[in-house]
Amino acid sequence: MQIRDAVHADLPAILEIHNDAIRTTTAIWDEHEVELDERRAWFDARRAAGLPVLVAEVDGGVIGFASYGPWRPKTGYRFTVENSVYVHPEHRGQGAANALMPVLIDRARAGEVHSIVAGIEAANAGSIALHEKLGFRRVALLPEVGFKFGRWLDLAYLQLTL
């Protein structure tokens, strides 16, 4: 498995992974899939801001991606970011997220990031365990702040101070 910076050619695979998470999981609380143009705009905005977009690649194919972006828009939050990590359904549980996250954290440490926040659906035990293994700690639980698949969702916040 290789972890590298994403390029425009990776966007169809990133889009497929992103839209699968919308369709089948509570990892993304959007209910409508996005088009390639939206992912391209997201990617270009991240790159223009100097923010990382990483991919995990196996045998020439992208199996996962990770990034971080601003946590909140006010300038006082400029040293805090929120991370995202998603893996193709056929490759979940095979170590892609475990490989992506340390590289993402290293990128944050090398920049001006002081704190990384992860907002995770509270029943997503795998993602919570991954983040805790990497040093994140639970700092908040917001009950029933999301709604998807006909049910209310709780949001767990985890934080890593660098």
**pLDDT at position 134:** 98
**pLDDT at position 82:** 98
**pLDDT at position 50:** 96
**pLDDT at position 25:** 97
Tell me which residues of the chain have a pLDDT lower than 70: none
CA distance 45 to 115: 21
pLDDT digits (tens, 9 = 90+) for 31-72: 999 999 999 999 999 999 999 999 999 999 999 999 999 999
**Element of type H or E holding 29:** none
pTM of the full structure: 0.96
64 near 96, Cβ under 8 Å?
yes
**pLDDT at position 20:** 98
Q: Exposed e or buried b for every residue in 95-108, given b needs 16+ CB within 10 A? A: ebbbbbbebbbebb
Report strand pairing: 80-87 vs 115-121: parallel
**Element of type H or E holding 138:** strand 137-148
CA distance 16 to 14: 5
CA distance 29 to 152: 11
